[in-house]
Amino acid sequence: MNKTQPRLLLINPANSYRKGYLLRRESKQAPLGLGIVASLTPPGWNIKILDENFREFRYRDADLVGITAVTASVNRAYEIAALYREKGIPVVLGGIHASSMPEEALRYVDSVVIGEAEGSWPKLLEDFENGRLRQIYTSGLSDLKNALPARHDLFHPGYYFASIQTSRGCPMDCEFCSVPSFNGNKYRLRDPKSVVDEIASVPHSLLYFVDDNLIGYNKNAEDHAAAIFEGMIRRNLKKEWFAQTSLNIIEKPELLKLARKSGCRMLLIGIEAENDEALKDSNKKVNLRLGVDNYKKAFRMIHRHGIAVLGAFIYGMDSDTPEALENRTRYILSSSVDVTQASVMTPLPGTRLFEKIKQEGRLLCRDFPKDWQHFHFSDVVFNPCRMTPKELAESTNRAYREICSMSTLRKKFIRTWWNTRSLRSAVWAWNSNLNYRSVGLEKPSEYRY
Ligand code: SF4
C-alpha cells in the first residue's frame, strides 16, 4: 500500500439485535451503495470495505470513514462511528435512514449524505482534502444515464449473488414504502449496455437485480428491461437471476419470455394482501387495478414461463384483524405462490405511514435512536388499528410456523417444480424458502409497549 494515499474505509454495519439475517449465505446482499461510493472516489484513494454481513467489525485505521445504514442497522453504525470519532477520524453516514433523519445522524457522525451519492460524494472528498468537511451534503437525484458500475471487486468474495442495479425511483406511492422519498417518483434508467457490461464483468453466475421494479411502469422502462435481457442473451452470459417487479409484468408476455431466456428464475412481487380493503389501506394501486381475483391467473402466467413467484405479504395493515390475518395465511398456503416473504408492517422513517402513525400516537417503539433496532419487519413496533400488538405478533408467529414448516416447504417445492416445469427454478424457490425459514423461526416476532 502506498502510505501517501489517503485511506477511505467503507463500512456495512449489521443489525446487532437480529443476527438471524446473517444465517444463510444465500440471504446476504452486497452493500451496493458502498460499491457505488467506491466507484465515485477518484484514483489515488486506498479504499477498503468492512462488511459485518460476514464478520463482526474489527477496528482498522483510516483517514476517512463512510458508513451506510438502514434503519435497523443505524445503531450499530452510530456505535462504530463513535470508535473513529474518538480518535479524531471523521465519519460520514449515508443511506436511507440518515437521509430521512439527518438531524439525528449528525449527533453521531461528522457529515451526512442525504439521498443519492452521485452528486455529492466527489465534492465531499474535495472538502475533506481541503479540511472543510461540511455537515450536510445533498444534491438531488442523479441522472443515471452515465452512472458508473459499482466496484464489485471490493465486496466480500463470499456473496452468493452479484447485486446489479439498472434503475431507480418509483412513480407509485405505497404508504409504507420509502423508495419514493429516497429515490424519487420518477423512474430513471441506466444505459442498458453499461448494465450488460457490468453483468459480464462479475464472476458470479447468479445475479440479484436490486431495482424496486425491474420492468417499471411505462413503455420506456419496458424497452429498457428488454434491451438488458436481449444484451444478456446476445452475449451468451449464462447468468441466472432474480429480481423485484410488480404484478403488471403479466401484461407483458414478450418481456416475460425474454426474461426467462436471459436466465430469470424467480420474481419477487409485492402482493401485500389478498383483499381490496388491505390494498387500499396501503395505496397499492397496481394490485387494485389488476384485481385480487386475477392473482391466480398472474401466477400461472409467470409459471408458464418457467419462473417461480416470490410473493411479499404484509401483516398489520390498518384494516387487518386476527381473522383477516388467518385468512392471509390460508391464502398463502393454498395459493401457487412458491416462496413467501411475510413481513410485519413497519413504519420506516421517511414514509407517509411513519408520519401517520406518529401523529396518531400509535408508535410503541419511540425511544430513538435505540428503538430503531426493532424496525426490521419482524417485530411489532406500533399499535395496529383493529387488534392488539400482541395479537399481531402472535398471528405473524403462527403464520411463520405454518408457512415455513418443512412439510409446507416440501409441498411447495413439488408444486413449483410441477408448475414451472423447471427443477432449477424449484431449487431457487426451495433455497429462498429456507432463507425465510431461518429468519422467521430463529427469532419470533415480539411486541413492545
Ligand atoms: S412498494 Fe413498490 S410499487 Fe409501491 S412505492 Fe414502493 S417500490 Fe413503488
Decide: 76 and 36 in contact? Cβ < 8 Å: no
Residue 87 sits in the same domain as residue 225: no
Residue 177 sits in the same domain as residue 87: no
Using DSSP, state whether 301 is helix, strand or coil.
helix
Looking at residue 20, its pLDDT comes to: 46
Decide: 311 and 341 in contact? Cβ < 8 Å: yes
Q: Residue 424 domain-assigned?
A: yes
Domain count, the chain: 2
Residue 186 sits in the same domain as residue 118: no
Residue 89 sits in the same domain as residue 231: no
Q: For the domain that residue 191 is a member of, what is the CATH number? A: 3.80.30.20
Rounded Cα gap, residues 165 and 390, in angstroms: 38
Give the position, in ligand 1's atom list, of the atom nearest the Cα of 178: 6
Residue 129 sits in the same domain as residue 169: no
CA 242 to ligand 1 center in whole angstroms = 17
Q: What is the identity of the amino acid at 79?
A: E
66 CB under 6 A from ligand 1?
A: no
Q: Residue 145 domain-assigned?
A: no
Give the position, in ligand 1's atom list, of the atom nearest the Cα of 212: 7
- The Cβ of residue 33 has, within 10 Å, a number of other Cβ atoms equal to 24
403 CB under 6 A from ligand 1?
A: no
Looking at residue 426, its pLDDT comes to: 98
CA 325 to ligand 1 center in whole angstroms = 22
Q: For the domain that residue 126 is a member of, what is the CATH number? A: 3.40.50
Give the residue, by CA position, lying nearest to ligand 1 atom 7. Answer: 212
CA 179 to ligand 1 center in whole angstroms = 7
Q: Residue 79 domain-assigned?
A: yes
- Among 138, 173, 198, the domain boundary falls at 138
Tell me the average confidence (pLDDT) per consecutive run of 10 residues in the chain, 449 residues long: 82 76 72 97 96 90 97 96 98 97 98 96 97 95 91 95 96 91 92 98 97 92 97 98 93 95 97 95 93 93 98 97 97 97 96 97 95 92 96 95 96 98 97 88 71
Residue 186 sits in the same domain as residue 51: no
279 CB under 6 A from ligand 1?
A: no
Q: Residue 425 domain-assigned?
A: yes
- The Cβ of residue 319 has, within 10 Å, a number of other Cβ atoms equal to 17
Give the alpha-carbon dihedral of 28, 144, 243, 343, to 10 degrees. Answer: 60
Q: Is the peptide bond before 369 cis (omega within 30 degrees of 0)?
A: yes
Looking at residue 19, its pLDDT comes to: 57
348 CB under 6 A from ligand 1?
A: no
210 CB under 6 A from ligand 1?
A: no
- The Cβ of residue 60 has, within 10 Å, a number of other Cβ atoms equal to 12
Residue 87 sits in the same domain as residue 165: no
Decide: 185 and 170 in contact? Cβ < 8 Å: yes
Rounded Cα gap, residues 403 and 334, in angstroms: 10
Best residue among 172, 217, 353 to mutate for probing ligand 1's pocket (most ligand atoms within 8 Å of CB) is 172
Stated as kind and residue range, the H or E segment containing 242 is strand 240-245
Residue 197 sits in the same domain as residue 307: yes
Sequence-ordered alpha helix ranges (H) in 291-388: 295-304, 322-334, 352-359
One DSSP character per residue, 120-189 reads: THHHHHHHHHTT---SEEE-----GGGPPPP-GGGS-TT-SSEEE--EE--S---TT-SHHHHH-SS-EE
Q: Which residue range is the domain that position 262 belongs to?
A: 161-442
Give the residue, by CA position, lying nearest to ligand 1 atom 6. Answer: 177
Residue 184 sits in the same domain as residue 126: no
270 CB under 6 A from ligand 1?
A: yes
Q: Whose grid coordinates read 407517509? A: 352
246 CB under 6 A from ligand 1?
A: yes
Residue 178 sits in the same domain as residue 279: yes
Looking at residue 22, its pLDDT comes to: 54
Looking at residue 4, its pLDDT comes to: 82
pTM above 0.85? yes
179 CB under 6 A from ligand 1?
A: yes
Give the residue, by CA position, lying nearest to ligand 1 atom 4. Answer: 174
Residue-wise over 62-93: b if at least 16 C-beta within 10 A, else e?
Answer: bebbbbbbbbbbbbbbbebbeebeeeebbbbb
Rounded Cα gap, residues 99 and 106, in angstroms: 11
Q: What does the block give as the cell for 361? A: 400516537
304 HSE (CA, 13 A, CB side): 11
Looking at residue 1, its pLDDT comes to: 45
Q: Residue 146 domain-assigned?
A: no
Q: Residue 1 domain-assigned?
A: no
Angle among Cα 297, 254, 213 to the nearest 5 degrees reads: 75
Residue 229 sits in the same domain as residue 335: yes
180 CB under 6 A from ligand 1?
A: yes
172 CB under 6 A from ligand 1?
A: yes
CA 175 to ligand 1 center in whole angstroms = 9
CA 170 to ligand 1 center in whole angstroms = 6
Best residue among 167, 168, 174 to mutate for probing ligand 1's pocket (most ligand atoms within 8 Å of CB) is 174
Q: Residue 95 domain-assigned?
A: yes
Q: Residue 287 domain-assigned?
A: yes
Residue 339 sits in the same domain as residue 250: yes
